[in-house]
Each structure stands twice: as C-alpha cells, then as structure tokens.
Chain A
C-alpha cells in the first residue's frame, strides 16, 4: 500500500477521485430520487461526441466534452419539458446519435485511437498534474451547488408541482441540476470512463438506499461507499493493471450487493 501511495499519478488520481466520489455520491442521491439514471447514461455517452469534436477541432477534449455534454443535457431537458416527446425517448435519440458522432469523428483521426480506451473505461495514468486543479475545482463547485440547493432539489424531486407553487424556481434549478450532472460526468470521465461513469451516478445511492432508514443515512452510506469504491478501485487498478473505471464500478457493485443482502436481513 505504501508503494501504491508513493506514485505521483496515484496521488493525483486519489485527490481527484475522492472529491469526485463525494460529488458523484450526492448527485446519485438526486439521480435515484428523480429517476434520472437513463439521462446519466445519455449524457455520459454524449461526452464521447464532445471528446471527438475536441480532437477534430484541435481544442481540449475535456473542454469540448464539457460544452457538448452540457448542451446535450439542456436540449434533452428542453425537449422533455415541452411534453410532446418523453424524456426517455429524447435520451434514446441523443444517446446513440452523439455516440455515433464520436465514433465517426474518431475514425477520421486514426492516431487518437490509443487514448480511446482510457476515455471509455478510465485510466489511472490519465490524470496529469495540470488536470488535478481543474477536476478538483469542478468537483468542488458541483458539490457546492448540490449542498446550497439541497432542499430545493429535494422538494422538486418529491413533488415538482407543489415546489413550483411554493415559489421554487423549478425550471432554472432543473437546468442547473442537468449542468451539474453533465459537468460531473465529464470530470469523472478520465478516472471512471464514459461507459462506466453512469453506473457511478446510481450505485452509491442505491447502496445507501438498501441499508439506510433515513435520507441522511442514505447520503452517508452513499458517500462512504463511493469513497471506498474510488480508493479501493484505484488500488486494485494499480495492483492488477485494470482499467480504473472497471475496478471502481466493480467494487461499488460489490458493496451494493453486500448492502442489499444486509438490508434484506434487517427487513429493509
């Protein structure tokens, strides 16, 4: 374990991973409450289109992915709010379309393929020193927004109509939550990967829900399980040379199943 912590790339992955783990766990609470799991899948796959656009346009893939993912999240939210097409259907249109765009653009840039696995499944080596501040800032801002507007997001998730009647600005907060979701997805991309990040936006909260008897308990268990998954997953990734996203998500899923069994024994 001492060897593991001695490496600079491991330290960078741990610093960003811990912050993103807390941010993802709190976000997962709202993803589960608002039944937004599928939109997490849609936005994370849209990030591939953004990465590819960045490569083709010669700009930072992270920046391009952020702008592109936020844009896709807003468009999905806007279409769903019009009520003519369901949110599921809108995601079902954008998810494969943006993924196909990413694949098509990357195929035009053959030299880029070697990095693709890292973006798809996470790479412990991918976080450069310059990334740490950016990712840590994104995670901190996301967490700050979720904390500041916690009660408003909770009310909107439980009963949007009553929340709007009470003067909660539902529309603005819905787009804010979608923005936080998109930014967190992109920030987690290097560590967990585009394909797997959506799981990380559900599993910690599901683990919390399986054993906790209160929302505070659910949040606490979600955060702890998320941190154990990130730190343990990164260690396993280093130990067995696995993609970091795969080991993090597998560990998170293991914790979920253990929590589920423990919850059943306690009659939850």
Chain B
C-alpha cells in the first residue's frame, strides 16, 4: 500500500497571463514529515510553485495534490512563511497581533478571536523562542526575530505542512543557521512536513533531507550531498561543476 505524499506535483505547467510558462512540466513529491528544499536560480519558478500549492494560483495543466487533496483545501491547513512582511514605518502592530492572524483562517469571517486563540499565540511564541516579546512592536524587531514571529503565525494555524518562501533572504549567516535549526526542531518535534524555497545552499545542505533543483522543470533531486555535487546545479547557477574537468 502506497503512502500518500504530503505534496505531489506532476507535469505542472503554469504561465502568468500570456507570458512564457514559468513552470514547464515540473514533477516531484514531498514525503510526509520530511524537510525538502526547493532550490534554483532567480526566475526558476520556486515562489510560483509555492503559490500554486497554497491555492493562490491555478495550474495551467498537470496534477497538484496536497495530502491527496486539491491545493487550497482548508481541511488540510498549510502554514506559510513569506520572505518578509513590510509594515508602514512606525505602525504599532504588536508581535502578538501578527501571530494571532494565523488563527483568522480557522476562525472564519466576522468571528472574533477568543481566549483559546490567545493561548495558541502564547504557546507558539514559546516554541519559536519569542516569549516575552508578545507586546513588542513587530516593526522594531530584527529581521531574524521577525521571521521567527512569522513561523509562530504559521504554527498557530496548526498546519501539517509548512511552506517557506526564501525566509532567510537578507539575514546574516549566523541568524540563518539559527533559523533553519529552529525549523528542523519544529519539523522533528511536531511531525511537520517542510517545503522551503531558498538560495541558501550551505544551510539547506545541513538541514534539509532532500533538495529539488527547479528551473522551470525539475532538473535533479535527491539528498543534498548528491544534488550539490551534480552538474545540473552548476549549469543552473552558472558556476563550475565540482567534477567538471572539461
């Protein structure tokens, strides 16, 4: 009996309006409980693919399933961590308010948060090491702290799958390493499936179980040690392949 993967993408084609297709027959799967990293150069379609999985974009053709169902099915909640959230300068939105937004999908339209929702917020802030900062202004936090808050926001929606879209862009290496360590910890302690789009090859090679190299379609995939040594990676990123002696 085969186990339903967390994410199944088969022959996915997607184009914005009448432009050239960004995704051209991408095929891969993400196993339940794994940490899979989606890598590839700018314009490879990584963010587009995540938006398709979130149900924000409709595929042109191909099969896309999340836990065996269609993307955007709210019975299988997905946690989403964007690259950044930009507020107007000085806007006094608190960390707790940002995290509470992760409950809004569950609450439904026009329903106000209850005490139980605030308990979820407090617990999530503890899980990401941001307890004690609930009343701080979100905009006053460092980039790394803001990303931890956005993970907490994703966690309060009680997701089975966590999608991260270049979450460490602009962060220094030490902060990036701590961020991915936190994601790994959450993956292991909560049985989360993680799919992370990023250029951060070094950190991902340390933390991810599997890399998927995307450039319109999937060029190669496998354990980090294999993908990072592949000539496909060198061609996509236009740097010399480790074993390319030609």
B94 — which chain A residues lie within 8 A by C-beta?
214-215
Specify which of B54, B91, B93 is in contact with A165 (CB 8 Å cutoff): B54
Complex contacts, B153 vs chain A, CB 8 Å: 162
**Contact: B104 with A152, CB < 8 Å?**
yes
B174, CB-defined interface residue at 8 Å: no
Contact with B along A30-41 (1 / 0, CB 8 A): 001101000000
Given A149-B109, A151-B113, A215-B94; A163-B104 close (CB under 8 Å): yes
Inter-chain CA distance A167–B105, complex, in Å, is 6
- Rounded to whole angstroms, the CA-CA distance of A86 and B94 in the bound complex is 30
Place the interface of chain B in its size category. 20 to 34
Contacts of B74 in A (CB 8 A): 167
Q: What 1/0 flags go to B58-84 for Cβ under 8 Å of A?
A: 000000000000001010001010100
CB < 8 Å neighbour of B91 from A32, A152, A161, A162 = A32
A168 to B107, CA, bound (A): 10
Could you tell me the distance between the alpha carbons of A194 and B56 in the complex, rounded to whole angstroms?
38
Cβ distance B54 to chain A, nearest Cβ, rounded Å: 4
Q: Is B92 an interface residue (CB 8 A)?
A: yes
Chain B residues, Cβ within 8 Å of A151: 101, 104, 107, 112-113
A168 touches B56 (CB 8 A): no
Q: Is A212 positioned at the interface, with any CB of B under 8 Å from its CB?
A: yes
A165 to B107, CA, bound (A): 14
Contacts of B185 in A (CB 8 A): none
Q: Does B98 contact A (CB under 8 A)?
A: yes
Contact, CB under 8 Å: B97 / A215: yes
| Contact between chains at A268 and B90 (CB < 8 Å) | yes
Residue B3 is within 8 A (CB to CB) of chain A in the complex: no
Known: A158-B87, A166-B157. A152 touches B109 (CB 8 A): yes
- Residues on A with beta carbons closer than 8 Å to the beta carbon of B87: 33, 158
Whether B127 sits at the interface, judged by CB under 8 Å, is no
Chain B residues whose CB sits within 8 angstroms of the CB of A148 once the complex forms: 110
Instruction: Given contact pairs A159-B85, A165-B78, enumerate 4 new A-B contacts (beta carbons under 8 Å).
Output: A149-B110, A151-B101, A151-B112, A162-B153
Which residues of B does A touch, CB under 8 Å?
A: 51, 54-56, 72, 74, 78, 80, 82, 85, 87-88, 90-94, 97-98, 101-102, 104-105, 107, 109-110, 112-113, 135, 137, 153, 157
* Interface residues, chain A, with chain B CB atoms under 8 Å away: 32-33, 35, 148-149, 151-152, 154-155, 158-159, 161-169, 209, 212-215, 217-218, 268
28 contacts between A and B (CB under 8 A): A149-B109, A151-B101, A152-B109, A154-B101, A155-B101, A155-B104, A158-B93, A161-B51, A161-B56, A161-B80, A162-B80, A162-B101, A163-B104, A164-B54, A165-B54, A165-B55, A165-B78, A166-B101, A166-B102, A166-B104, A166-B105, A167-B105, A209-B90, A209-B91, A212-B92, A213-B92, A215-B92, A215-B93
